Amino acid sequence: MLHYTGGVVLMCLRATFLHLYPGYRNILTGPWQHWSLVGDSHLRYIFDALTQRLRDYPPLEYRIISHKNNSRGRVTKWSDAEDFLSYLRFDSYTSDIQIRHTQSRFTLTWYYDPLLLRLPYLLKVWMEEEVEQEQENVDEEEKVDEEEKVEEEDEDEEEKVEEKVQQLHRPSLLVINSGLHWLSFLDKAYTSGLENNSATLVMFEAQLNQLSPILGRFAKHTPTVFKLLDDVQAADTNPESEEVMSRTNLCHYNEITVSALRGSGVKVWDSTLPLSLGYNHQCSLHPTRTTVNYWWKCHDKRHVGYVLVEQYVDMLLNHACNFYLLVQQRIHRGHCVS
């Protein structure tokens, strides 16, 4: 597996840009690339670790987007991300977070959607905009030569154009996860024990069966990954949630996910599970808490520490980037971990 430093991530973005938009000679005049992570805080950890790798290559900007159902609420202005990234992993969020690297025209969005109730709407918008976006790309390619000669443009108009592109542009990579919040929250709506577990399992299965054909159509043209549930310490050490947050039920949710997505074209990401089992075993032997960077978070019974999250990011980047970097012949031995 290759280790992706921030510089190699930028090389990946350039390589994928050349593949997605071959008509553009200059990345600064082309469309924005957009990677989307839709799910719970486990994907926010990956969002955080991936963004941190770009901190040495400013400028990075961020904004927070609140929402109610499928309607946008308050949207903060784009601001320098340096201070925000210093405390991102130490806070919790229930609003969407966007990071953009302006020189690479790259936007990374984490959508807070732990039950995947917003995902059908997002997929609908992205797929409806696909045809329109493709036509816009053709029109833009015809104007590239003229635009490159223009040194200054009206800043307000440019901001409106960039805003539209970043809001509507279909992601070139989609990563999804769900399941843990079904176990954590939906038990309040039912009684307890097996009746409760069966009810939430049925609802989760129905949700995925509804999503599967839509995700299948989306995955035909966009790399789409569904991350399975990690093992969590709460399955062993939290008596209050033992009936729901059990290792048996974690396995059931993963089995439902694999079954629902079989044949859809969505990649099932299962390689983090054995790492989380090893991490939790180590925490049981040596409960460690690294407060500076949360490298180890043995006090957190429902998340792994960043010692694993960093490896998860490399897994994701290897999946998203290796092919395009090989095409560009830009992978060097110095980037190899093993």
**CA torsion, ordered 76, 81, 83, 89, to nearest 10 deg:** 90
Q: What is the C-alpha R_g of the chain?
A: 21
Q: Which of 298 and 24 is assigned the larger pLDDT?
A: 298
Of 333, 321, 335, nearest in space to 18 by CA: 321
**CA torsion, ordered 143, 149, 151, 153, to nearest 10 deg:** -20
Q: What is the 3-state secondary structure (H, E, C) of 80-121?
A: ECHHHHHHHHHCCCCCEEEEEECCCCEEEEEEECCCCCCHHH
Q: Is the separation of the CB atoms in 177 and 46 below 8 Å?
A: no
For the segment 67-81, the average pLDDT, to the nearest whole number, is 80
DSSP string, 207-258: HHHHHHHHHHHHHTTS-EEEEPPPP-THHHH-GGGTTTS-HHHHHHHHHHHH
Which pLDDT score, from 0 to 100, does residue 27 have? 84
| Cα 105 → chain centroid | 17
- 3-class secondary structure, 278: helix
The residue whose two tokens read 């019974």 is 301
| Average pLDDT value for the chain | 83
pLDDT digits (tens, 9 = 90+) for 82-106: 999 999 999 999 999 999 999 999 9
Spans of all domains in the chain: 6-143+155-333
Residue 5 clears pLDDT 60, i.e. is over it: yes
pTM score, whole prediction = 0.85
Which pLDDT score, from 0 to 100, does residue 120 have? 95
Residue 159 clears pLDDT 60, i.e. is over it: no
Tell me which of 3.40.50.1110, 3.40.50.300, 3.40.50.970, 3.40.640.10 is the CATH number of domain 6-143+155-333. 3.40.50.1110
Which pLDDT score, from 0 to 100, does residue 306 have? 98
- 3-class secondary structure, 60: strand
Which pLDDT score, from 0 to 100, does residue 237 have? 59
Which pLDDT score, from 0 to 100, does residue 154 have? 47
**CB contact set of 120 (below 8 Å; sequence gap of 6+):** 210, 211, 214
